[in-house]
Amino acid sequence: MVYKIALEEHFMMPLMREYFDATLGDVPPAKRDTIIHSLNDFGEQRLAQMDEAGIGMSLLSLAGPGVQEEPDAGVATARATAANDYLAGKIQDKHERYRGLAHLGLQNPAAAARELERCIGDLGFVGCMINGHTRGRYLDDPFFLPFWEAAAGLNVPVYLHPADPASPLAAVDGHAVLKRATWGWTVETASHALRMIFSGLFDRFPDIKLVLGHLGETLPYQLWRFDSRAKLYDCKLAREPSEYIRKNITVTLSGTYSREPLECALAALGTDRVCFAADYPFENSPMAGRFLDTVELEETTRDAVAHGNAKRLFGL
């Protein structure tokens, strides 16, 4: 069993339930209760699953969407601070097993930048997680430049997590199972990342570290296509889109435990751009661990995916 660092592992706190509960509307009640119970556990249950999976360390983040759905910027800022303090308190004596990713109220980007600096400098967090758009604003919007300046200055990864689209996706209307995690979130999150690339954000901040779950939300499959269409439309970028994806983006296994997409991600992005994640409690951690332990890989690549790349990326 290889030692693993898991990068997309979630928790919940009472203050944030009103935002989170809306994402469980189509989940059967019994499964919903199990998810909530698991999210609130920082002890025996979570640690037992980590041990069975071979996960030595989990990076914990608030289950989305969190305050990014909050219409009041002041409330969003205050509640994000409360969430970060709550997480810091829960893990303060467990740093050998847990590290934190900051939750931010991006309705006020300057305040979010200060909170990120506090989380990294004072709370010992190692990055942040952004749950998609903020009230319909995507991260390529110049409105968010104070946040990006802080993230670039701190040299910390930004994990872009899925969220419901700003407008309903008509293609899945009437098919509830295709919304959210089955397909809709993939379309939304991949599109969000492409907005950042094609807007020139990575030209302005060439060292930004962006992390995508689910083995890159299908982006590794489309690198050639992105480059071809960028030439057709004469996009004013310093590099080809595929180069930004290979240089600035790292992907995790969260929710995608199958050999074929893993092989594609490794071949398309390189063995230094893929990391492990169990997506606790939304996927089965021991199953995720067994997949990485048994999938056919060179042992140096397995070690890199399991823990080596995460250590380098997050400075662990």
Active site residues: 279
Report how far apart, in Å, the C-alpha atoms of 299 and of each of 97, 103, 262, 308 are.
24, 35, 15, 12
The pair of three-digit structure tokens given for residue 257, joined into one six-digit string: 């435990």
All residues at 6 or more sequence positions from 292 whose CB lies less than 8 Å from its CB, including other chains = 2, 4, 253, 257, 276, 302, 305, 306
Asked if residue 286 has a cis previous peptide bond (ω within 30° of 0), the answer is no
Using DSSP, how many helices (H) and how many strands (E) does the chain show? 15, 8
Specify the 3-state DSSP secondary structure of 250: strand
